[in-house]
Each structure stands twice: as structure tokens, then as C-alpha cells.
Amino acid sequence: MDLSCFKAYDLRGRVPDQLNPQLAERIGRAYVEVTGAKRVIVGYDIRLSSHEITDALSSGLMAAGADVFDIGLCGTELVYFATSHYKMDGGIMVTASHNPRDHNGMKMVGPDSRPISSDNGLNDIRDRVPEPFGNAPEQGRYEPLEVTTAYIDHLLGYIDSGSLKPMTIVVNAGNGGAGLVIDELEQHLPFDFVKVHHQADGNFPNGVPNPILEENRAATAEAVIEHGAAMGIAWDGDYDRCFFFDENGRFIEGYYIVGLLADQFLRKTGGGKVIHDPRLTWNTIDLVKAAGGEAIESKTGHAFIKQRMRDEDAVYGGEMSAHHYFRDFAYCDSGMIPWLLVAERLCQSGQTLSSLIDARIEAYPASGEINRTIADPPKVITAIEAKYSVGAKNVSHVDGVSIEFDDWRFNLRMSNTEPVVRLNVESRGDIPLMKEKTAELLAEMQRLNEEG
């Protein structure tokens, strides 16, 4: 039995050779036997294979004795919300997010929407799948569950609706599921939405929804300029990530959105803790401190961020990869709460998005994440650390290696899944220095790689 679809944090694989209804049914059984869950939320994305895989998964869950509450076609965050809001024992979202059209997968959570990953149960579920199953004392039941009304009410609770003003916003669902939520929110907001690639379509007629790819950004950027919009927003397929474009159609690096959201959220809460990843940090630390909060660094990855948020009771957490986490959202990530907060900020401040972001880019210019394929990533990272730690102000190993000097810093880390190293460089108000150090590090990495 091919179990290669099990990854570190979720399940992903091609349909039907790596993931199919037969395997999904066994995964459902294994999930119940390993977790002991009795009441499970199940939802699915717009992929063509999702409904069939969800039906099989639900059959397995019920065969193992669990009651299935089916919330239907949705985004990942609705599974998170429903599992927590209705105090279920767990939840499973059938999705492959931004992966190719012929792929599918699952994201699993336990009580309170705590993530189930390889270090807390996912490997146990994987190992249980091929084993023989017994008969449950009693078959579980199936019940459709309507969660949209409660979810929309929850989203609107993050903003002061009275402070909102009419403005034009471009929204690009990428033919994923985000459009369904925008249509619901539209009834409660004074915004004029320009809808791009809006209809949910698992054929992905405009390509797989993944705005991190530069070739997928033009449609949003062009619509912003054409319609004179205040900003543009684009989502991946299961809309747990959102990406921003300013009023000039410029794509904004996720790093600067983390700082903006931290500042906006701390203004509301009057302080609190904010979790951030180690790749780019200075802008976030600066804004959090100025807003009376405490910035705390965590290893990159949703399981690490969510756990650290729980440990610290943090109000907000952000990764530059466009994942944003909220304490009142069961410490989970949402692709809808961030844009609502940014829209509120634009209305309240009267500023343009570019003016809010430009000041931060000027203060802390950054390279953005640069990936390089390396034959021996640990060797290269060790050599870079040995060279650059001499005379450094601080060296950290929270995730990869972060080396800090008075006026610039960088983080170098390797991928968990491929022979790639990821570099991020930033400086204090010095764009030429940031570019110089970025080029210098890339050249050194290439030299070390060629030396073997």
C-alpha cells in the first residue's frame, strides 16, 4: 500500500495512484482508532476528486464509530472554525491547496483545532492504515452542518463595521473557494468588489491558484489598475493564505503585511504578544514594540507557530509566507481575517496601502525569500555560519541560522522536503547594503556548492 501521501504536516499526493477513495476510507478508520474521536467535522475544496474522496473518508470515519458532521464545500479555515466553535473532537479538510490539479490531500486537526502532524499523531495514523480493522460496536451517523452563518458573524467581529467606507477592492479567488465567502461578506460591507477568476472551478481554467508564483499575479495587478481599486487580494485554492496588491498593482511581500497586521491588531487589544518567524524580523519587532506589544520568535511552520501561540497566549502570529494566525480563531490561520483588518486600516487612516507599506520598506528593505538548489545543504549552511559569525552581533538557531550585525542580518535555512536552501536578507534603511550582501551570500553559496 502506497502511503507516500503522508507528509510532515498533512497528506498530499496524486489522484488516484497516491490518494484514492479506497485509501481515504482506511484513513478515516485509522484517524478514529488513533485519536479516539467521536464527533468529526469534514469539509472539502473545489477539486474534482474532493467530493468522492470525502465520501470515502466519511464512510471510514463512520465505520470506526465516529459521527460525521459534513460542512460541505469550503476552505480549510472553515474546518478549523467549525471544529473549535462546535467543540468537536476533530476535523479533516480534503484539499491539496495550491498543488497541481491532479493532486489532492487532507489537513487534520484534533480538539480545539490543534494541528495533527508527524510529531503528534499523523505518523501513527499512517502506520495504522495498512493494518486490519475490527468492527466498531456501533456505526457512526452522518449529519450535514451549516456553519457559514456563524463563520461570517465571527469574521465581522474582528472589525469595526461603522468605521468602514465605500472603496473598490479587487478580489481574485483563482477559481478556488474564496469567492463563496466574498459573496457572503459582500452583503455586510460597503465595498465594491471587482471579482477576478471568481467562480469555483476544479478544472482551474486560469491555472492552479497560487499567487506566490509571479506568473499568477498579473490578472490581479491589472484589474487593480484598470478599476482604480484601493487594493487587490488573491488567495490560494483553500484560501488559508491571502496576498496583497497596493493601489498601483504592486505585489506586497508578506513580511510587511505581518508588521501591518501586528500593528493593527495591537491597536485593538492594547498590547499582547505577537509570534513571528525568524526569516525577516526587524520590521515586525519595531512595529510590535511601538504598539506596546511583545514580539516572540518561533520556528517556521504552522504547527510550531500555533503551539507557540498557545504557549504564550499570543493575540496574533504571522509568517512572511502569507499565513496569519489569530488567538480568537482557535490560534489557527485565516485568509479572510487579514484583508478585513487591512481594509479597516485603510478606511480609518485615510492612507493608501502603498503609503503604509513604503515607509516600512524604506525602514527595513528586504531581499524576499530566495531559493537555491544545493547538493549538500547542511554543509553549505555550516560553512556560511562559520564565515559570517565572526564579528556578528548575534547568532541564532531557532530555524536554520540567523546572523545579525548592527545594520544588516540574514537567515539561511533548508527545506524540509527538497535539497533547497532559502535565504532572506534585510538591512536598516540601506537598500544598496541589502542588495550587496544578498549578492555576496548567493555567490558564496554557489562557490561552496560547486566545490562539493
Count CA atoms within 13 Å of residue 125 on its CB side: 36
Residue pointed to by grid coordinates 505581518: 258
- Compute the distance between CA of residue 5 and CA of residue 19 in angstroms, rounded to an integer: 7
Which residues lie below 8 Å from residue 191, measured CB to CB, with a gap of 6+? Answer: 164, 166, 167, 168, 169, 343
Give the active site residue among 97, 298, 402, 427: 97
Q: How far is CA 399 from CA 238, 308, 412, in A?
A: 27, 14, 8
- Compute the distance between CA of residue 17 and CA of residue 103 in angstroms, rounded to an integer: 10
- Give the closest residue to 14 by CA, choosing from 83, 137, 96, 118: 96
- Compute the distance between CA of residue 70 and CA of residue 73 in angstroms, rounded to an integer: 9
Instruction: Lay out the sheet containing 90-94: strands in order across.
Output: 11-14, 103-109, 90-94, 39-44, 67-73, 142-144
- Compute the distance between CA of residue 343 and CA of residue 246 in angstroms, rounded to an integer: 11
- Compute the distance between CA of residue 81 and CA of residue 149 in angstroms, rounded to an integer: 12
- Compute the distance between CA of residue 437 and CA of residue 367 in angstroms, rounded to an integer: 10
Residue 311 identity (one-letter amino acid): D
Instruction: Lay out the sheet containing 168-172: strands in order across.
Output: 192-196, 168-172, 231-235, 242-245
Q: Is residue 97 annotated as part of the catalytic site, yes or no?
A: yes
Phi, psi of 51 (to 5 degrees): -65, -45
**Which three three-digit cell numbers place residue 210?**
497560487
Q: What are the residue numbers of the active site?
A: 97
